[in-house]
Structure 1
Amino acid sequence: MPLVLLVALVLAQLGILLFSHLILVQAARDGVREGVVTNDNGAIIEKVRNSAALLDQSKLKITISPASSHSRGIGDSLTVSVRYRVSTIFPGLDRILPTFFTIRSSTSMRMEKE
């Protein structure tokens, strides 16, 4: 019975990781799409945070490259990267799993506005 419980807990943790990853992928896509049409870093960050509203915002790190909106022109590449730290949620699993996982997603598109 303990083995079945352990497998169930590991599968639940895996589900949380997959859920978080899917949200990050969508948030990065939404953020870069906002950026290529507005060229506004504040709008990018707001869009990413809104798209990832189900996640703990304090564990979310957003990187925009190039960082300065003044250095981006039409046709230039804009990359939005999002990193999120997921903690192991079940006590005892930290003996067989890391205490946290870092999930990353990055999306690039060409600028449509200067």
Structure 2
Amino acid sequence: MENLTPTYTVTNDDEYAALIEKVGALMEKDEADTTAEESAEIHAMAEAIMAYEQSIYDIPEPSTLEGILELRRYDMMCEGKDLAETLGISNDELQRIIDGDHWPDVSLLNVIREKLDIPENLVLNHV
């Protein structure tokens, strides 16, 4: 079976602007009226747009534990409660850590490092 998912590549600002406009036009449709093909096309265009943005904008890795947790949650495309469950803590405790109101103990830092695949040196900076 042939893969019908469109692919896009953005290599300059003009292509970027054109693709942004095309995505905007497709997204103006009501979600219920959007076909599966259009949804796949929007997704493919969004990936190309994000890849181009990442290639031209230098976004540094977060340097705080709170930032690292937020980034991992985003990378995992999960909600806070799901991240908390992965770490074996309550959602309230995770939120207090992210807000900077609670500091995890060493055992929780080890769990964070192992479960979220965070380099040890980044975790050690927060002990």
State the TM-score bracket (shorter-chain normalisation). under 0.3
When you count helix as a share of all residues, which structure comes out higher?
Answer: 2
**TM-score, L = length of structure 2:** 0.21
Greater strand proportion? 1
TM-score, normalising length from structure 1?
A: 0.23
**Per chain length, whose mean CA-contact separation is higher, i.e. which structure has more relative contact order (CA < 8 Å, sep 6+)?**
1
